[in-house]
Structure 1
Amino acid sequence: MHRNPKSLVARFAGVTVLATAALTAAASAASDSPNPALAISADALSEHVRILASDAFEGRAPGTPGEEKTVAYLIEQFRKAGLEPGGTDGGWTQAVPLVRSQLRGPATVTLRQGGDTRTLRNGEDLTVQTLRPVDRVALDDAPLVFVGYGITAPELDWDDYKGVDLRGRIAVVLVNDPDFETPQPGRFDGRAITYYGRWTYKYEEAARRGAAGVLIVHETAPAAYGWATVQSSGLSPLFDIERADADAAHVPMRGWMQRALAQSLFEAAGLDFEAQKQRAQRPDFTPVVLDDASLSIAFEVQRESIVSRNVIAKIPGGTRPDESVVFSAHWDAYGVAPPEQQTDGDRIRHGAIDNATGVAAVLELARVFAAGPRPQRSLLFVALTAEEKGLLGAMHYAAHPLAPLETTAAVFNIEMLSPDGPTRDIASWGKGGVSLERDLANAATARGRSYSPDPNLEAGFFYRADHFAFARVGVPAITVGAGLDRIDGGVAAGRAKRDAYFASAYHQPGDRWNADWDLRGAAQDVTLLHDLGADLANSTRWPAWDAGSPFGAVHARSDEARR
């Protein structure tokens, strides 16, 4: 994986030369500024997405030829725009060491309950995986224990485990957190999901409890995506950062089960699934052994170390180069799907909206900023790897920053811009409690638009985007995405478009570029981000977390560096 970026560019020169010509023509047609070089171009955004989401890039999975092409393309575009390398040792990239784990061959899953034996299908009834450093997983007749939402939150006086011994057992866990379906908000911030509701937390807590495995019950509404998304990720390779404590950090087996399977398990154990869910929404919940239900699971594991890459370009600040503003987006998608997951004969999960649109925005911002006056603070343009595998590229950067985090004024992360035309509003993901949200609202107002807080807080997007890796270390950060209030059709039309995308295309081959896309709205959104970045890069302001934010205390530790 350690290849010379110059050789990558040469290898894919045919792609980049054609792309550059097309983008130059697209940029010249921009009309938002008297000088086309200083205007965000909808056509240029579309051309970047067309190329990055094309079959040639094979779904941009880390550690594949698709990564090689993606990295080469990004480097070439940054270089053509006149930016400087911002990576390690004066290069364009930052190495991100990862471990890739995937099933070798099929998984055998057998359910025993009530004297009956039933074979379950991996990918259909459930998904099974592991990040343990092992060659084989073998669980024999592991009992199933329902542990509610699988949450231990001492500060909320909440413990779903109540001391249950999970050694040798598989925990069955509900997705989201206890407030999602309650009529009144409780201890978990109402329908706005907390980190305790994220599947990542549930796996982490089960590992701390010594469980042999954990299966999350999939339900579309609280998960915020359908089974096809679970299937797509569940049958794809897993990635993790290199860990000395991988045995302790991960359960031997993890995965999801269909709601229908959970219902049948509960029914055979003499339990009502819905009644048990309601019981799990109370702090006095106690775990329940699912009668004599047990699973035997066996599969071979292929593990290998790879080195993926973040791609980083910069414009050094003219007067305060040690202070920076970051624009980021993740370049990775899900690669090529197994044959059984093809859509209309297509197996490539192109990742057009998620997240070639975000990468296109970073490239356009880089081009426009490079064509304009040098800012006072440095600007970094970062294309991050392995977001789809758990924000791993962003986590690595936050642990090994290439610009001081204490003087990183802000991170503007970009995700899933809309291809459906202009909107009256722009949105950010989650409820961050950071001054950047108000800055975004002010920038929208200045352009005659409005700001909409995340309309889908229960989906937990705040914890599902790369800005979260920066927020955890205190850096003011938000993820910016499309609003829903379409000029053509209003909020109802915008919501219908979004819902259709998540139902049929998200993380699936259907997430393709289309020549009929209308990226004028995306260009307007990226223009607002340019406004925000230019204002902040030429000011002495330091964005901050609101009082009571869990990230504010971390940020405050470096206050002296910003005085």
Structure 2
Amino acid sequence: MFSLLAVPAFAADVPGGGISAENLSRHVRILASDEFEGRAPATPGEEKTVAYLIDELKKAGVQPGGENGGWTQAVPLVRAQVEGPVQATLQVGGKPQALDNGGDVVLQSLAPVDRVRVDAAPLVFVGYGVNAPERGWDDYKGVDLRGKIAVVLVNDPDFETPQPGAFDGRAVTYYGRWTYKYEELARQGATGVLIVHETAPAAYGWATVKSSGLSPLFDIPRADAARYHTPLRGWMQRGLAVSLFERAGLDFEAEKKRARTPQFAPVPLGDATLSASFDVKRDQVVTHNVVGRLEGTQRADETVIYSAHWDAFGVGQPDAQGDRIRHGAVDNATGVVAVLELARVFAAGPRPQRSLLFVVLTAEEKGLQGATYFAANPLVPLEKTAAVINIEMLSPDGPNHDIASWGNGRVSLEQDLKRVAEARGRRYSPDPNLEAGFFYRADHFAFARAGVPAITAGAGLDRRDGGVESGKALRDAYFANCYHQPCDAWTPAWEASGQAQDVTLLYDLGQGIADSAAWPQWQEGSEFKAVREKSEAARR
């Protein structure tokens, strides 16, 4: 088991004058300003963001860590954007219902087509849409979905069961993620997918679905893209689903309950059909990861990565105040500026034994694309990457007693974060919201799938001013009102002292790994342990 022997119980002082709350707040204020246009990939906002990050990494004193001796890694992506009006009609019992795109549904496509056209496709309810032989679960039972639209529930079959079953209770597995639903239904041959939105199991409201869903989609270039994407995909409001089931002679809640059992089989939604048509503008773009490097003194071929994603959602529809820019201050300018500060203080201090990479990733909000591309095209050997410490959504509301990580990663880094927190008189809190599935929603997941021990750290909830009750209320209000919305913005009330304390712990964590000869480990029960073990010989 890995041990942070390099960090004494009292915790070492941080070089460079320590992590500066003033620097953190200043960087967020700039990156989340209107000038950066919401930092969407492949826009003028990206150009400004990348230039700013490179300039700050230079000032920090680290070296270029990108391709060909530069500061960036080019990430080629296919961009797909609905262009023009969306025509969508639901027909049940011979009665048509026009659907509003953005109101009733959000429709989109990543299929390699310039126009989507679906004519009177039958709707079939497929429960949670899970095919998991290792868990004894198959929601499809051999039903042919070609030419049909699958209506599917978000999250896992266990989410609303009184006792944990095959899917870890309320702690979301990968089968509960909306990304999995789309992938699996493409494998099943469906013409389209409509995920039923419900706020609790989705972990965000319809406003988030709308703002994300009406933005451009991104994917890595694929010669066989039709195998990976249904022609039509999207979300539908819960109220629309309830009405649809009722008109089809079914009870939505009763069918949901049936879908929580392994005996579930798909059920046609009466004579309901969906017709939809819209144009899709597809092009190939190149976006960029930004990478700084600090060479290790003894084992330079071994690496510790600090990462965060720079992208947000750019310019969208105006909110009630007329603001169209999704500024992405908490999500995730806070993580970006943490990486910049870590680069500065590490460069100011003694060189660690292992090399450090400071990676600011693109297109996380488009499906972890920048991280996925890096993991598939690594700039350092992944088998000799000791750890990825990813940073997301630090709190603007002052200090907390605790620091948290996302999901139940079953990785030794969680215990190591606990150790460094206690060394500075704080504590580590496991993810208090496992049902949100955050483990699968952050960039560390792309590295974990490649076997690298990885963690995403974020703010705890136990505020020094107000305790857990206050912290939870602030978090809930953020996700209800500002997540992926224009109001996720820097204000003069921003209090970065808590962020500075959190980033100090992440300095301790990375410094301990970088000055240790030991390797962090996936623990028993981790789905990534076997992948890592395949490269064990490289670390001996």
TM-score normalised to the size of structure 2?
0.97
* Partner Cα separation in structure 2 for residue 268 and residue 255 of structure 1: 21
Q: Give the structure 2 partner of residue 116 of structure 1.
A: 95
Deviation at 1:390, TM superposition (A): 0.3
Counterpart secondary structure, 1:342: coil
Question: CA 1:192–1:33 in structure 2 vs 1: closer, same or farther (change >3 Å)?
Answer: closer
Mapping for residues 77-96 of structure 1, pairs under 5 Å: 77-96=56-75
* Partner Cα separation in structure 2 for residue 130 and residue 270 of structure 1: 30
Per-residue CA deviations over 1:267-310 (Å, capped at 9, x if unaligned) read 00111100000000011111110001101000001001000000
Counterpart secondary structure, 1:309: strand
Letter in 1 for 2:499: A
Q: Give the structure 2 partner of residue 403 of structure 1.
A: 380
Letter in 1 for 2:291: I
Per-residue CA deviations over 1:378-424 (Å, capped at 9, x if unaligned) read 00000000000000000000001111101100000000000001000
Letter in 2 for 1:382: V
Determine if the alignment matches structure 1 residue 386 to structure 2 residue 363.
Answer: yes
Mapping for residues 11-26 of structure 1, pairs under 5 Å: none
* Partner Cα separation in structure 2 for residue 34 and residue 288 of structure 1: 62
* Partner Cα separation in structure 2 for residue 543 and residue 33 of structure 1: 21
Q: Give the structure 1 partner of residue 7 of structure 2.
A: none
* Partner Cα separation in structure 2 for residue 140 and residue 88 of structure 1: 47
Letter in 2 for 1:55: D
Counterpart secondary structure, 1:388: helix
Determine if the alignment matches structure 1 residue 72 to structure 2 residue 35.
Answer: no
Determine if the alignment matches structure 1 residue 147 to structure 2 residue 159.
Answer: no
Counterpart secondary structure, 2:365: coil
Q: Give the structure 2 partner of residue 251 of structure 1.
A: 230
Letter in 1 for 2:153: L
Deviation at 1:118, TM superposition (A): 1.1
Determine if the alignment matches structure 1 residue 193 to structure 2 residue 172.
Answer: yes
Residue of structure 2 aligned with 1:544, choices 521, 528, 531: 521
Q: Which consecutive segments of 4 or more residues in structure 1 shift more than 2 A? A: 32-38
Counterpart secondary structure, 1:530: helix
Mapping for residues 198-237 of structure 1, pairs under 5 Å: 198-237=177-216
Determine if the alignment matches structure 1 residue 310 to structure 2 residue 272.
Answer: no
* Partner Cα separation in structure 2 for residue 273 and residue 469 of structure 1: 35
Deviation at 1:34, TM superposition (A): 8.1
Q: Give the structure 2 partner of residue 432 of structure 1.
A: 409
Letter in 2 for 1:399: A
Letter in 2 for 1:324: T
Q: Give the structure 1 partner of residue 331 of structure 2.
A: 354
* Partner Cα separation in structure 2 for residue 506 and residue 276 of structure 1: 31
Mapping for residues 105-504 of structure 1, pairs under 5 Å: 105-338=84-317, 341-504=318-481
Question: CA 1:293–1:158 in structure 2 vs 1: closer, same or farther (change >3 Å)?
Answer: same
Determine if the alignment matches structure 1 residue 60 to structure 2 residue 32.
Answer: no
Deviation at 1:342, TM superposition (A): 2.6
Deviation at 1:69, TM superposition (A): 0.2
Per-residue CA deviations over 1:184-230 (Å, capped at 9, x if unaligned) read 10000000000000000000010001100000000000000000000
Determine if the alignment matches structure 1 residue 513 to structure 2 residue 490.
Answer: yes
Q: How much identity, in percent, do the aligned residues show?
A: 71
Counterpart secondary structure, 2:261: coil
Counterpart secondary structure, 2:366: coil
Question: CA 1:36–1:153 in structure 2 vs 1: closer, same or farther (change >3 Å)?
Answer: closer
TM-score normalised to the size of structure 1?
0.93
Deviation at 1:550, TM superposition (A): 1.2
Letter in 1 for 2:397: D
Deviation at 1:35, TM superposition (A): 8.2
Per-residue CA deviations over 1:92-136 (Å, capped at 9, x if unaligned) read 000000010001101000111112111100000000000011110
* Partner Cα separation in structure 1 for residue 372 and residue 196 of structure 2: 27
Letter in 1 for 2:332: N
* Partner Cα separation in structure 2 for residue 343 and residue 525 of structure 1: 34
Unaligned 5+ segments in structure 1 are 1-31
Counterpart secondary structure, 1:38: coil
Counterpart secondary structure, 2:77: strand
* Partner Cα separation in structure 2 for residue 36 and residue 426 of structure 1: 21
* Partner Cα separation in structure 1 for residue 113 and residue 218 of structure 2: 14
Tell me if the contact between 1:328 and 1:412 (Cα under 8 Å) persists in the aligned partners.
yes
Tell me if the contact between 2:14 and 2:345 (Cα under 8 Å) persists in the aligned partners.
no
Q: Give the structure 2 partner of residue 25 of structure 1.
A: none
Deviation at 1:36, TM superposition (A): 7.4
Letter in 1 for 2:54: I
Question: CA 1:34–1:275 in structure 2 vs 1: closer, same or farther (change >3 Å)?
Answer: closer
Question: CA 1:464–1:211 in structure 2 vs 1: closer, same or farther (change >3 Å)?
Answer: same
* Partner Cα separation in structure 2 for residue 498 and residue 516 of structure 1: 16
Letter in 1 for 2:162: P
Tell me if the contact between 1:343 and 1:509 (Cα under 8 Å) persists in the aligned partners.
no
Letter in 2 for 1:547: E
Deviation at 1:37, TM superposition (A): 2.2
Cα RMSD of the aligned pairs, angstroms, is 1.1
Tell me if the contact between 1:38 and 1:369 (Cα under 8 Å) persists in the aligned partners.
no
Question: CA 1:143–1:34 in structure 2 vs 1: closer, same or farther (change >3 Å)?
Answer: closer
* Partner Cα separation in structure 2 for residue 144 and residue 560 of structure 1: 51
Deviation at 1:38, TM superposition (A): 3.3
Letter in 1 for 2:346: F
